[in-house]
Amino acid sequence: MQRRPLIAGNWKMYLTQDEAVALAKAVAQSAAACADRDVMIAPAFTSLAAVCTAVQETGVLVGAQNIAWEKEGAFTGEISAPMLKDIGVSVAIIGHSERRHVFGEDSAMINRRLHGALNGAILPILCIGETLSEREAGKTFSVLEAQIRHGLAGVDTEQMQQVVIAYEPVWAIGTGKTATKEQAQEVHAFIRQLLESIFEKNVATAVRILYGGSVKPENIDELMAQPDIDGALVGGAALKAESFDRIIQFQ
Ligand code: 13P
């Protein structure tokens, strides 16, 4: 099964609108040289519309860093799928470790957000990952299984074909400490097996599972060479055109 690689940049709370547009244009140039892979960038909400305009018709996907579950209503601070669709956004990152650990989003809320994306025809990237203490206590697989089962509750086989999973070990995010390719592959294979047991084999075989956590030009090639790693969700190294270009051009 040939899964189309997806290289995604999460810009977090960085860049003004002008900086975001300049970087988006550079990313579009990098992506144009690689027709066999998808490239996505997720700017802060203030730059989403301008970035959508900047990359229009380049094939670069634009993602939001979160998404509401309702279409509209009294939800101060939230942005819905129809609002995102309206400006050209087609992807949403959901359940990022910073949303879970800094802002206290729980599995039930993350599951609602995922359904909000699916119902609004926005492709969700569901992020999961264990903390260092969970890993050291031997709980990695049970934590990830719970995050997957709760995060995907109520998702049917057909909807699952629209979902991307991102494995981001919390201890590897922004720390410079990447999971080894063996550690990442072991977890990705576990996730795929789990998806096969929840859905069916062809869904599990087709789903894209990204790795995130200190991905950089120096380690992208070895990560992408692993059989169950289908792409990367990149933070810090996605903020510089040169390093993200090298990651997009992985071999
Ligand atoms: P870093 O690449 O900076 O470790 O961030 C990873 C991440 O959180 C992407 O969503």
pLDDT digits (tens, 9 = 90+) for 133-167: 999 999 999 999 999 999 999 999 999 999 999 99
Residues 6+ positions from 182 with CB-CB distance below 8 Å: none
Reply yes or no on whether the pLDDT at 116 is more than 90: yes
Ligand 1 centroid distance, CA of 249 (Å): 18
pLDDT, residue 165, reads 98
* CATH architecture of the region 6-248: Alpha-Beta Barrel (3.20)
Hey, which of 6, 10, 132 would you mutate to test ligand 1's pocket, going by the most ligand atoms within 8 Å of its Cβ? 10
CB distance 243 to ligand 1 below 6 Å: no
Secondary element (H or E) of residue 147: helix 140-151
Give the domain ranges of the chain. Answer: 6-248
Reply yes or no on whether the pLDDT at 174 is more than 90: no
Residue listed under structure tokens 């909807």: 159
Ligand 1 centroid distance, CA of 226 (Å): 19
d(CA 219, CA 251) in angstroms, rounded, equals 11
Mean pLDDT of the chain: 97
Ligand 1 centroid distance, CA of 14 (Å): 13
CB distance 235 to ligand 1 below 6 Å: yes
Cα angle: 213, vertex 216, 219; to 5 degrees: 95
pLDDT, residue 151, reads 98
pLDDT in tens, 159-171: 999 999 999 999 9
> How sure is the predictor about 1, in pLDDT bands with cuts at 50, 70 and 90?
low
pLDDT, residue 177, reads 83
Residues 6+ positions from 217 with CB-CB distance below 8 Å: 237, 243, 246, 247
> How sure is the predictor about 2, in pLDDT bands with cuts at 50, 70 and 90?
confident
d(CA 63, CA 124) in angstroms, rounded, equals 9
What percent of the chain is modeled with pLDDT above 90?
A: 96
Q: Which atom of ligand 1 is nearest to the CA of 166?
A: 10
Both structure tokens of 124: 């969700």
CB distance 168 to ligand 1 below 6 Å: yes
Rounded mean pLDDT of 108-122? 98
Hey, which of 210, 220, 233, 247 would you mutate to test ligand 1's pocket, going by the most ligand atoms within 8 Å of its Cβ? 233
* Least confident span in 15-19, 96-100, 171-175: 171-175
Q: Which atom of ligand 1 is nearest to the CA of 93?
A: 10
For 127, the 3-state DSSP assignment is strand
pTM: 0.97
pLDDT, residue 190, reads 98
What is the set of active-site residues?
96, 168
Phi, psi at residue 169, to the nearest 5°? -60, 130
Query: What are the C-alpha distances in Å from 110 to residues 104, 113, 151?
Result: 10, 5, 6
Ligand 1 centroid distance, CA of 216 (Å): 10
